[in-house]
Amino acid sequence: MSTGKTVAIIGAGPVGLAAAAHVLERGMMPVVLEAGSAPGHSVRQWRHVQLFSPWEYNVDKAAARLLAPAGWKSPDPQVYPTGAELLERYIEPLATKTALRDMIRTNSRVSAIGRAGFDKAKTKGREAAPFEIRYRNGKGPETLRADAVIDASGTWASPNPAGAGGLPAIGEPESAARIAYGMPDVLGRDRARYAGKTVAVLGAGHSAIGTLIDLTTLALQVPGTRPIWLLRGTDPAKAFGGGANDKLSARGELGAHFASLVGSGQVQVEAGFSVAAIAQADGRLRIATSSACCGRSVVVDELVVATGFRPDLSFLGEIRLRLDPAIEAPVALAPLIDPNEHSCGTVRPHGARELAQDGAGFYLAGIKSYGRAPTFLMITGYEQVRSIAADIAGDKEAAARVELELPETGVCTRGGVESGSAAGCCGGPAKEESSACCAADETAKKAGSPGCGCS
Ligand SMILES: Cc1cc2nc3c(=O)[nH]c(=O)nc-3n(C[C@H](O)[C@H](O)[C@H](O)COP(=O)(O)OP(=O)(O)OC[C@H]3O[C@@H](n4cnc5c(N)ncnc54)[C@H](O)[C@@H]3O)c2cc1C
């Protein structure tokens, strides 16, 4: 099917590139705008991290079809790559050895998107107007016109701050030199920064746990390295995940290993620690739960903030967005992933219908589509963009079809690793209720409660 449409794709991460492969396969013209100097720019920042999903969940099908004639050999589906291997064995060949090569513009940061000639308030005739995408590539302001836009620009560059209320902690910006966000390469590139130091890690997700595990390894190699785990919740076991019940076993094992390190006292745990203020004291940081004199505090050399990410909506001001006010995900998707309602990592596959915004042709995809929810998987993104490309091409039947069996990730956290409650909590995918994330959620919703009750 050839529609002759031009589709602008923001971001050359795994999902943006998969979107381009699907768009191309449907006879349309993708133009990928990537802010970084190379495809996979965000993955490059966490290249040292081992993925918790094996290759079988990391390769998009249309991308694999595009790669096959280039002599690409699919990696062993059961092996867990690092970020670097994901780049070298998949993202880079896809971006440089296939037809996508000529469709990716690197060093091209999108700064604004609108409808040509139509400001946000103007409705009549709006649908027929092409999208106008403004971007900067160091050579002056550039403009691209497109029939549709897929925003797959990720969330990596907009981390949540340390402050518990969502605002930066008092003194956080001033202490930036001793604060890292995300997941620094503690055993590699950033080793000198952390070796022999007291390092606080704030957060309870996989990035925080991974960083703390690396710090315990560093502590065995360099005496004086001291990891402190700051978590807002009062129950550390909640961070240990589904353990043996997690169908993504590498993720389950990570949680179980971390539980044993905590159990053996290799990590100092400060639970119920909501950061309010960070002050510089004698070349160190005093991190406190209150900006007044009497809160709890720890004094450290470095702070790693791993409290998740939020979407950058700054260049979407002229798009008619309908996002959930809390999760900042599209309104139809938000109830499926809302961490307030359920903690299951399982989400039923979804596509164009849930991701489209008011006015045809604009879609959020990839990890950005999850807004502030932390449970995104690449394979979910691949299904999203398969459906979106079908929708743009006018193949509504394929857009509505579900072509993905997601792993039952079972990361309900109640009871921690030992209880084995995860499988019982999720109970597999939902069967009828479209707004339910899992069978348990479905049952709970039928009984009138808002979610599966395991959070
Ligand atoms: C440490 C870590 C480990 C993870 N492990 C797994 C895992 O094991 N399995 C799994 O399924 N998922 C994992 N994820 C989650 C998720 O799948 C990845 O974050 C994945 O990279 C998301 O892909 P994406 O294409 O949506 O976004 P990204 O990979 O973040 O790509 C977005 C791209 O958009 C570009 N961009 C940003 N702003 C602009 C702009 N204004 N203009 C142009 N370009 C822009 C960025 O430079 C980037 O290249 C992990 C995430 C992290 C952070």
Res. 439: pLDDT tops 50? yes
Ligand 1 close to Cβ of residue 207 (< 6 A): yes
Q: Are residues 285 and 189 part of one domain?
A: yes
The predicted pLDDT at position 454 comes to: 47
**Is 386 a member of any domain?**
yes
Q: Is the CB of 241 under 6 A from ligand 1?
A: no
169 near 278, Cβ under 8 Å? yes
Q: How confident is the model at residue 413 (pLDDT cuts 50, 70, 90)?
A: very low
Q: Is 280 a member of any domain?
A: yes
35 lines ligand 1 (CB under 6 A): yes
- Whether 264 is in a domain gets the answer no
Are residue 323 and residue 280 in the same domain, yes or no?
Answer: no
Q: What percent of the chain has pLDDT over 90?
A: 74
Q: Residues 32, 144: one domain?
A: yes
Residue 281 sits in the same domain as residue 327:
no
Q: SS3 sequence, the chain? A: CCCCCEEEEECCCHHHHHHHHHHHHCCCEEEEECCCCCCCHHHHHCCCCECCCCHHHCCCHHHHHHHHHHCCCCCCCCCCCEHHHHHHHHHHHHHHCCHHHHHEECCCEEEEEEECCECCCCCCCHHHCCEEEEEECCCCEEEEEECEEEECCCCCCCECCCCCCCCCCECCHHHHHHEEECCCCCCCCCHHHHCCCEEEEECCCHHHHHHHHHHHHHHHHCCCCEEEEECCCCCHHHHHCCHHHCCCHHHHHHHHHHHHHHHCCCCEEECCCCCCEEEEECCEEEEECCCCCCCCEEEECEEEECCCECCCCHHHCCCCCCECCCCCCECCCHHHHCCCCCCCCCCCCCCHHHHECCCCCEEECHHHHHCCCCCCCHHHHHHHHHHHHHHHHCCHHHHHCCCCCCCCCCCCCCCCCCCCHHHHHHCCCCCCCCCCCCHHHHHHHHCCCCCCCCC
Is the Cβ atom of 160 under 6 angstroms away from ligand 1?
no
> β-strand 109-115 against 131-136: which pairing, if any?
antiparallel
Other beta carbons within 10 angstroms of residue 45's beta carbon come to: 17
Q: What is the mean pLDDT of residues 136-164?
A: 96
In tens, the pLDDT along 54-104 reads 999 999 999 999 999 999 999 999 999 999 999 999 999 999 999 999 999
149 lines ligand 1 (CB under 6 A): no
List the CATH number of the domain containing 183.
3.50.50.60
Instruction: Calculate the alpha carbon distances from 311 to 147, 150, 417 in Å.
Output: 23, 14, 31
Please report whether residue 259 resides in a domain. Answer: no
* Least confident span in 218-227, 249-258, 429-438: 429-438
Quick one: pLDDT at residue 421?
31
Instruction: Look up residue 285 and give its amino acid.
Output: L
Q: Is residue 114 part of a domain?
A: yes
Residue 334 Cα, ligand 1 centroid: separation in angstroms? 19
In this prediction, residue 320 carries a pLDDT of 96
Are 343 and 437 in contact by the 8 Å Cβ rule? The answer is no
Instruction: Kindly state whether residues 106 and 17 are assigned to the same domain.
Output: yes
Which of 150, 123, 125 lies closest to 330, judged by CA? Answer: 150
Last residue of a domain, one of 262, 281, 305: 305
Which ligand 1 atom lies nearest to the CA of residue 376?
A: 15
Nearest CA to ligand 1 atom 33: 11
Provide the pLDDT confidence category of residue 33 given band limits of 50, 70 and 90: very high
User: Are 205 and 88 in a shared domain?
Assistant: no
Does the pLDDT value for residue 48 go beyond 80?
A: yes
pLDDT of the residue at 452: 58
- For a mutational test of ligand 1's pocket, the pick from 31, 186, 367, i.e. the residue with the most ligand atoms closer than 8 A to its C-beta, is 367
**pLDDT score at 339:** 82
Would you state the pLDDT for residue 420?
Answer: 29
Residue where one domain finishes, among candidates 400, 419, 448? 400
Phi-psi group of 283: left, alpha or beta (phi > 0 → left; psi -120 to 50 → alpha; rest → beta)? left
Probe target for ligand 1 pocket from 32, 41, 143, 385, with the most ligand atoms within 8 Å of CB: 41
Domain boundary pick from 282, 305, 328: 305
User: Which two tokens mark 260?
Assistant: 């044993």
Instruction: Indicate if ligand 1 lies below 6 Å from the C-beta of 49.
Output: yes
Domain match, 134 and 220 both: no
Segment 408-436 mean pLDDT: 45
* Enclosing domain of residue 43: 6-157+309-400
The alpha carbon of 21 and the centre of ligand 1 are apart by a number of angstroms equal to 17
Q: What is the count of structural domains for the chain? A: 2
Tell how far the Cα of 111 is from the centroid of ligand 1, in angstroms.
18
Q: What is the reported pLDDT for 425? A: 43
> Are 113 and 218 part of one and the same domain?
no
| Residue 163 Cα to chain centre, angstroms | 20
Check residue 390 and give its pLDDT: 97
CA angle 451, 309, 424 (to 5 degrees): 30
**Whether residue 25 is found in the same domain as residue 152:** yes
In the structure, what pLDDT confidence band is assigned to residue 417 with cuts at 50, 70 and 90? very low
Q: Is the CB of 14 under 6 A from ligand 1?
A: yes
The pLDDT tens digits for 349-383 are 789 999 988 889 999 999 999 999 988 999 999 99
How many other C-beta atoms can be found within 10 angstroms of the C-beta atom of residue 332? 16
Whether 326 and 290 share a structural domain: no
Structure tokens given for 409: 């990730």
Q: Is 179 contained in some domain?
A: yes
**Pocket perturbation via mutation, ligand 1, pick of 17, 33, 34, 42 by most ligand atoms within 8 A of CB:** 42
**Residues 379-403: tens digit of each pLDDT:** 999 999 999 999 999 999 999 988 7
Q: Quick check: 344 and 425 in contact, CB under 8 A? A: yes
**Do 323 and 191 belong to one domain?**
no
User: What mean pLDDT is predicted for residues 308-323?
Assistant: 97
Given a cut of 50, whether residue 412 has pLDDT beyond it is: no
Q: What confidence score (pLDDT) does residue 250 get?
A: 64
Assess if residue 40 is contained within a domain: yes
Segment 421-439 shows an average pLDDT of 54
Same domain, residue pair 31 and 66: yes
Alpha carbon of 43 to ligand 1 centroid (Å): 6
Rounded CA gap, 329 and 311, in Å? Answer: 9
Specify if 450 maps to a domain.
no
Q: How far apart are CA 9 and CA 34, in angstroms?
A: 9
> pLDDT at residue 455 above 70?
no
